Amino acid sequence: MRAAKQYFYNAMLMTGAALLMRAVSVAFNVFVTGRLGADGMGLLTLVSSAYGFAVTFATSGISLAVTRMTAETVLTAPAEVRRRRLDYVMRTAVCYCLFFGIVGGCVLFFGADYIGGVLLGDARTIRCLKLLAFTLPPTALTSALSGYFNACRRVYKNALSDFCGQVLKIMITAAGLSLFLPSGLEYSLIAVVGGGAVAEAASFFVSFALYKADRKRHGDGNEPDGGGGQTELSADTAYSAARSLSGAALPVAFSSYLRSGLVTIEHILIPKALRAYGCGYKESLASYGTLHGMVMPVIMFPYAVMGPFSSLLVPELSESRARGQHMRIRHIADSVFRATLIFAVGVSGLMMTFSRELGVTLYGSVEAGRYIRIIAPVIPVMYLDTAVDSMLKGLGEQLFCMRVNIIDSALSVMLVWLLVPRLGISGYAATIIISEVFNASLSIWRLLTVTGVRPKIFGWLLRPLLASLLASSATRFIINFIPRLYRAGGVMPTVLMMTAAAALYLMLLFVTDTLTVSDAEYMKRVLSG
């Protein structure tokens, strides 16, 4: 029970921080959209897609490798050598990050002319890419430190680092946009990515300071004093750490390169395919920016509630796997399936019910609301896929996850090539839905096979669907037939009605026995004792 309590407290702390950060991020996204416009968001998303591949190379699987090695060291190493082994793990990780971060930064900086002018097809992206090149080394180092904090269950330090970076990013970007907006879209983009660049550096320095304080406070000072034995242990430990770290990170890294490269190709193809459909260049960027730069952040915003629980499953399941606790693994997987689907089905109902209001209220865009409604039904698949991937990584199935993700990315590229020139932006929406269903189906099948969990379709899915349908129908009735209680377009009316719909859904979960009194009692026991 103590372990469960620690897990839930860490997860709730991360959830609170993630919700705050996501809310700030969405509000910031709305602010930036208002300044750049839909076509500017499309151009910014293109830059982000190229930068995403560079970040994948710079980090090269380091976060997951550090999380696994740190968790295993804390679990298995004798107390007298634990601190020394952890130090070697982190020193090796720093060298690893600096190598890949510096190489990635140089390639991005000196290749920016070709990437921006030829691959992305817009010279206005070149200066942004050169600026972002300087962020790759600190981004890689921050990723390694994040893996350490996750493994040690001190996740609030990651949250603090992210918060400091985000606050600085917003301040610098807002000031930069005010200064450079009259100079044109290119300089406005530089203001946005410049704020992000400074934020990455700030996040690293905060994370590093927290790490040094953590090692001083929690380090084990029981290592043996000098002598030949210590030197031999140090050499062996250094070699072992380097070999283990590269062995854990590089297979994931190579797979990540391929997948990230395919994702980047997909995003480069979308505006070009839209032009083949008959859209003008600016219209293509606007449609792309609306769906990917405006709608998808809204769709993924509620996952901030579940995301921290999922990320913390990696060290929890790694530890259970190392101890051979198969029943505990099965119980965790069963609980995650149930909780994720209950949550995601409710979110899906809310998004569908309030799609138009969200699009108009956030972005002043009916088109954005239409795409929210199109994507909303697949939210349970998207959220469950993310949670399942975290569980598979904790069970040592990260290579399977990467193979599935690579196949999924290749499928997405093919679908963009086939569908978007014929269907326009609706073809890209169809691509998102098909690829999500494909990816999730394979991952769920693998997790069920590995854990032996038996799916409970009625309790996991059908009952939540019934509760969501009833709650959505009742809310829509109020909106349509009692207009005095609700007026679309205002922030507070939308928030209040969505809150009321969520409360009704929660009540119906108990009415339909999807949630029970014993669930509430268990949570009370976990949090109180």
For 427-479, what is each residue's pLDDT tens digit? 988 999 999 999 999 999 999 998 888 888 888 889 999 999 999 888 888 77
Residue 285 in any domain: the answer is: yes
Q: Which two tokens stand for residue 181?
A: 């907006």
Residue 275 in any domain: the answer is: yes
Instruction: Give, as one character, the DSSP assignment of residue 225.
Output: P
Q: Could you tell me which residue, 220 or 252, shows the higher pLDDT?
A: 252
Q: Are 292 and 371 in contact (CB under 8 A)?
A: no
Residue pointed to by tokens 């088109």: 367
Q: Could you tell me which residue, 123 or 320, shows the higher pLDDT?
A: 123
Contacts of 201 (CB under 8 A, 6+ apart): 135, 138
pLDDT at 161: 85
Percent of the chain's residues with pLDDT above 70: 85
For 362-371, what is each residue's pLDDT tens digit? 888 888 999 9
Distance between CA 141 and CA 90 in Å, rounded? 10
The predicted model gives 386-391 an average pLDDT of 88
For 69-80, what is each residue's pLDDT tens digit? 887 776 665 666
The predicted model gives 251-268 an average pLDDT of 86
Residue 431 in any domain: the answer is: yes
Residue 408 in any domain: the answer is: yes
pLDDT at 398: 76
The tally of domains found in the chain comes to 1
8 pLDDT more than 70: no
Distance between CA 175 and CA 36 in Å, rounded? 14
pLDDT at 512: 86
For 224-244, what is each residue's pLDDT tens digit? 444 444 444 455 556 666 777
Residue 260 in any domain: the answer is: no
What mean pLDDT value characterizes the chain? 83
Distance between CA 494 and CA 354 in Å, rounded? 8
Q: Are 67 and 316 in contact (CB under 8 A)?
A: no
The predicted model gives 322-349 an average pLDDT of 88
Max mean pLDDT range (218-222, 227-231, 507-511, 524-528): 507-511
For 25-77, what is each residue's pLDDT tens digit? 788 888 888 888 888 888 998 999 899 999 999 999 888 888 878 877 766 65
Residue 395 in any domain: the answer is: yes
CA atoms within 13 A on the CB side of 241: 25
Residue 316 in any domain: the answer is: yes
372 pLDDT more than 80: yes
381 pLDDT more than 90: yes
524 pLDDT more than 80: no
Q: What is the DSSP string of 280-311?
A: -HHHHHHHHIIIIIIIHHHHHGGGGTTHHHHH
The alpha-carbon radius of gyration of the chain (Å, integer) is: 24
User: Domain containing 287: what range?
Assistant: 269-490
- Quick one: three-class SS letters along 417-475? HHHHHHHCHHHHHHHHHHHHHHHHHHHHHHHHHHHCCCCCHHHHHHHHHHHHHHHHHHH
pLDDT at 375: 93
pLDDT at 318: 74
383 pLDDT more than 90: yes
